[in-house]
Chains A and B, each alone.
Chain A
Amino acid sequence: MKSEPLIEVVDLARYYEMAGTIIKALDGVNLEFYRGEYVSIVGPSGSGKTTLFNLIGGLDRPTRGKVYVDGVDLAELDSYELAWLRCRKIGYIFQNFNLIGVLTALENVALPTIFAGLPWEEGLRKAEELLRLVGLSDRLRHLPSELSAGQQQRVAIARAMVNDPDIILADEPTGNLDHETGSRIIGLLQRLNRERGVTIIAATHDVEMIEGSDRVVWLRDGRVEKIEVK
């Protein structure tokens, strides 16, 4: 593996105050993610997976510690630069797909290209290409409500890929899918990882997803319990 990590997390902590008590969602996590890796983050709910993703994506600020993406300390970026980071460097995949209901599959995938400053026509062209890649070239004009759960997640994966990010953060991507559909989504993510070299960090409970990854990070109570290299 290359020496320079793509993402470096140093002594990362995030505390919340809830009804007077301090909740330590993350409490001193040290991790490195390398370019082209496929890492699964495993842990019971409340172990800090989503908090970790929010911090890596710059959606949230840590209580303590640092996140470096491509050598840049996120604490030194303003909200404009963080938006740029989320737009160009990171793709998001959610458990409940989170597509925009009034936009077609094609428009949903093209949406992030607007924020990246691409002309709309070019965004649509890229979106069509990616929808073909995920096997939905016959569903371009369908609204999310007209698509099955598996198809919606494939649209979401295409959307995550459209700005050619280095990193994909997937939060329980197969959590709302049946086993067979989930299997196909995992296969697709693995293919993108292999063929396009995109680094995938996935929070998951899915055994199949864990089996296929390069490394598995076990989180418990906001700390790294163990790291398993496959």
Chain B
Amino acid sequence: MTGDSTHFGLIDAFRLGLRYIRGRGQAPVNIASISLASAFYAYMVLMGIGTQTLRTYRLWLLSVAVVVAAVSMATVMLISVYERYREIGVLKCLGALDRHVFLLLIVEALIQGLIGGGIGILLGFASTLISNTSTPLSGVNYLGLSSTLPLSTLISMASSLYPAYRAMRLNPIEALRYEV
């Protein structure tokens, strides 16, 4: 009996995380806020950073968008953890370790960050086309544009650290008594 433990790998976390993202209402809110910040970033990559004054102004806007996205994501993830209090307790009862619960929440954030980043790239692209019709597609900085995805997943995962920590630390006995 000793020496053994339970399993929950990255693939399992993706499988369960996708079900939660599909089955619960909060994911679109997270994806929307992440894609908005990503769109800002993608737009700036495409349009170039501009002159000195424009540069300060745009960087300021970008940081505001990133902070807003991160705070919104953290709040919504925390709500999502509290709404799932009992279910997380059940997972622990069935054999989930603290780190399994943590992994699940971070993977959920990762998936939403990727989707949000993808939508953000499309939005940034669309707004570039609208505001500047002369941009030739051949001149697009694809490498710069693809850096939107690491940025969006980073924001998403970093702002989910605290909610994931709360989920991980919850006491299953209390969670199973918990009424939503």
Interface residues of chain A, those whose CB is within 8 Å of chain B, are 54, 57, 59-60, 70, 72, 77, 79-81, 83-88, 92, 94, 98, 100-103, 107, 111-112, 114-117, 120, 143, 159
- Flag whether B49 is at the interface (Cβ < 8 A): no
Question: Chain B's interface: helix, strand, loop or mixed, by majority?
Answer: helix
Please list the residues of chain B having a beta carbon within 8 angstroms of any beta carbon in chain A. 1-8, 12, 15-16, 19-20, 22-24, 86-87, 90-98, 100, 172-173, 176
19 contacts between A and B (CB under 8 A): A79-B97, A81-B4, A83-B95, A83-B96, A86-B95, A88-B95, A98-B87, A98-B176, A100-B90, A101-B87, A103-B19, A107-B19, A112-B94, A114-B7, A114-B8, A115-B6, A115-B8, A120-B12, A159-B94
Bound-state CA distance A86–B87 (Å) is: 16
CA distance A81 to B173 in the complex (A): 18
Q: How many Å lie between the Cα of A9 and that of B89 in the bound state?
A: 25
CB neighbours (8 Å) of A59 from chain B are: 92-93, 172-173
Known A-B contacts A54-B173, A102-B24; A84 and B6 likewise in contact (beta carbons under 8 Å) = yes
Residue of chain B at shortest CB distance from A94: B176
Contact residues in B for A84 (Cβ distance below 8 Å): 1, 4-6, 95
- Could you tell me the distance between the alpha carbons of A114 and B96 in the complex, rounded to whole angstroms? 9
Question: Which A residues are CB-close (under 8 A) to B2?
Answer: 72, 77, 81
Chain A residue, CB-CB nearest to B20: A102
Least CB distance, B169 to chain A, in whole angstroms: 12
